[in-house]
Amino acid sequence: MRHTLFLSFLILLSGHHFAQKKQDFKLLFNAKFGNSNLILNDTYYKLNENDSIKIEVLKFYVSSIEFLNNDKVIWKEKNSFHLIDFENLKSQTILLNIPSDLHITKIKFNLGIDSITSTSGALAGDLDPTKGMYWAWQSGYINFKMEGNSPSCNTRKHQFQFHFGGYKQPFYAMQTIYLPVSNLKNNSLTIDFNLANFFENISLNQTNSIMIPNKEAMELSKKIATIFYIDEN
């Protein structure tokens, strides 16, 4: 009897193990400007008839990654915090280890850092304050950082600086993004975002420097969240 019990326990365990067979999964973030892939620093992109723009810094946090089947969460990454920095090619790919039998129809992630994490003191890894994504005189993470220049900006050296963040209402700027997934190939998924779609909605001569949590940072964070998509082709 005891043996049978032990045996069935073993079978149960191995069965469980079998169901939990894992595989690597690559999640890529790809920045575009209009029809081109974004290259930092050396290229001016056309904004409209008579204006152009150059991006010099582009980094943001992706956190709390989840896979869903319809609306049911079927997998979530533990301790899920990733800094995507376009200066660092490697950071644009998030390597996940997921069960191999997931049927994914939707992906969810947060753009930015949640309020609990933002009030948890000094953290490690991608959340280490040496990453240039932590404010000093007013605590909290910068969710999304984008800097560059454009002749439209009536500022010193025509610079614009967007540091979107804020963890406290009414300026809690983190955005939750859901994207439908189909045709998953090669255990990888590319999430595109097109910055042209962001800049066509704002006027750089009026909006060019946002470095604190405020109403504008909230509105622009919401706009940034809408430019992410998955190219089905």
Partner 1 sequence: MLVISIGLLAFISQKNTPLVFKVPKNWPKPNYDFSKNPLTEEGFQLGRNLFYDPILSRDNTISCASCHLQATGFTHVDHNLSHGIDGKIGQRNSLAIVNIAWQKTFMWDGGVNHLDVQPLAPITSKVEMDENIENVVKKLNASSFYKTLFKKAFKDPIITGQKTLLALSQFVIQLNSSNSKYDKYIRKELGGEFTEQEKRGLTIFRNHCANCHKEPLFTSDTLENNGLPIDTTLNDFGRMKITQNPNDSLKFRVPSLRNIQFTFPYMHDGRFKKLSEVVNHYVSGVKNSKTLSDKLKGKPILLSHEQKIDLVIFLLTLTDNEFLFNKRFGYPLKTKNTY
- Binding residues for partner 1 (CB under 8 A): 118-124, 128-132, 134, 136-140, 168, 171, 212-215
> What is the CB-side half-sphere exposure of residue 36 using CA atoms within 13 A?
9
Q: How many CA atoms lie within 13 A of 134 on its CB side?
A: 17
The amino acid at residue 160 is F
Question: At which residue do the structure tokens 């009897």 appear?
Answer: 1
Cβ 94 to partner 1 shortest distance, Å = 21
Q: Which 3 state secondary structure label does DSSP give 185?
A: strand
Are 179 and 215 within 8 A, CB to CB?
Answer: no
184 burial class (0-12, 13-18, 19+ CB within 10 angstroms)? Answer: middle
Q: Which amino acid belongs to residue 199?
A: F
CA distance 137 to 123: 17
Task: Pick the closer one to partner 1 by CB: 18 or 137.
Answer: 137
Place of tokens 């032990």: 6
The nearer residue to partner 1, 44 or 171, going by C-beta atoms, is: 171
CB of 138 to partner 1, least distance (A): 4
Q: What angle do CA 232, 108, 82 make, to 5 degrees?
A: 105
- φ/ψ bin of 160: left (φ > 0), alpha (ψ from -120 to 50), beta (otherwise): beta
Residue 27: Cβ within 10 Å count: 21
